Amino acid sequence: MLEWQEKTALLVLVCVVGIVLAGHLLFDAAGRPLFAVPYSVEVPDGALVVLEGRIEGVAETSAGGHLILTVNGTPVFLAQNVAAGLELAKDENVTLYGVVQTYRGKREVVVSSAADLRVLK
């Protein structure tokens, strides 16, 4: 049988796990808009950004499966697992969240999940 100290410790542990889980779910649901900054050329690599605009171009990479979008003149990389199932066309308006990185000397936004890209109607 558990003694009162063990019961208290177990209750505290369950409460801490519940708080951490709730915080994780809250951040996952609302975190991107809270922490993302609008994309600009001054934003450093590694920053979470939001980019809104019109798709000016859609190209598949030579390795196949990956997509490179051009949104407001900014290259946006979608890995194969992100691009799968998405149907994107030129002149659609999108809002996307991604991380800025420099690849082969060029800046781009990397989208890590299909849920981070939304086509606006």
In the numeric block, the tokens 């019109």 are attached to: 54
pLDDT of residue 1: 64
Tell me the C-alpha distance between 39 and 1, whole Å: 58
Q: Has this prediction a pTM greater than 0.85?
A: no
pLDDT of residue 15: 96
Quote the distance between the C-alpha of residue 101 and its chain's center: 13
Contacts of 15 (CB under 8 A, 6+ apart): none
pLDDT in tens, the chain (121 residues): 678 899 999 999 999 999 999 888 777 666 677 778 999 989 999 999 999 999 999 998 887 789 999 999 999 999 998 888 888 889 999 999 999 999 989 999 999 988 889 998 7
Tell me the C-alpha distance between 50 and 39, whole Å: 6
- For residue 35, the SS3 value is helix
pLDDT of residue 92: 94
